[in-house]
Structure 1
Amino acid sequence: MNANRRKRLEKVIGRLTELMAEIDAVREDEQEAYDNMPEGLQYSERGEQMSDNIDTLDMSYLDLGNVINQLQEIVEA
């Protein structure tokens, strides 16, 4: 890979890293809101949806981390 494409990928990795941090911040906010709900509401449809959202954000965070790692391997090759 030439230096120009490598630099472009490094910029992409930087933006993805920022997005990863934003996803984590949203997940933390959603988790805090869920944790502050009365227990009875946590088992309601809304609470279950919030729990599903938290799980999806967790998976998205991990998936994005894997993408970043794969791109980093290309840059370092």
Structure 2
Amino acid sequence: MNDQRRKAIEAVLADLADLRSRVEAIHQEEQEAFDSMPEGLQQTTNGQASEAAASALDDALGAFDEIESSLDEAKA
């Protein structure tokens, strides 16, 4: 890989780090919102939706890990 493409990957990795940080903040807020609900409310439709959203955001964070790993491999 030439330097130009390597630098392009580095730029993408920097953008991903920013996006990951934003998703982490949203995930943390959603998880805290769910955790602060009384147990009875956690079992409602809204509570279950909040829990599902937190889980989906956690999955997205895992996808960031995979993408970053693949890009690191590509530039090596």
The normalised TM-score by structure 2 is 0.95
1:60 paired with 2:60, answer yes
Residue matched to 1:16: 16
After the TM superposition, list the runs of 4 or more consecutive aligned residues in structure 1 that deviate by more than 3 angstroms.
none
Which residue number corresponds to residue 44 of structure 2? 44
Whole-angstrom CA distance in 2 between matches of 1:75 and 1:21: 22
Q: Secondary structure at the match of 2:37?
A: coil
Question: Aligned residues: percent identity?
Answer: 34
C-alpha displacement of 1:73: 0.8
Could you tell me whether the CA contact under 8 Å between 1:30 and 1:50 is conserved in 2?
yes
Deviation at 1:56, TM superposition (A): 0.3
- Aligned residue pairs, count: 76
**Unaligned regions of 5+ residues in structure 1, if any?**
none
Equivalent residues of 1:20, 1:65 under 8 A apart: no
Deviations 1:22-70 (A, max 9, x none): 1111100001111111111100000000000011000000011110110
1:71 positional shift: 0.3
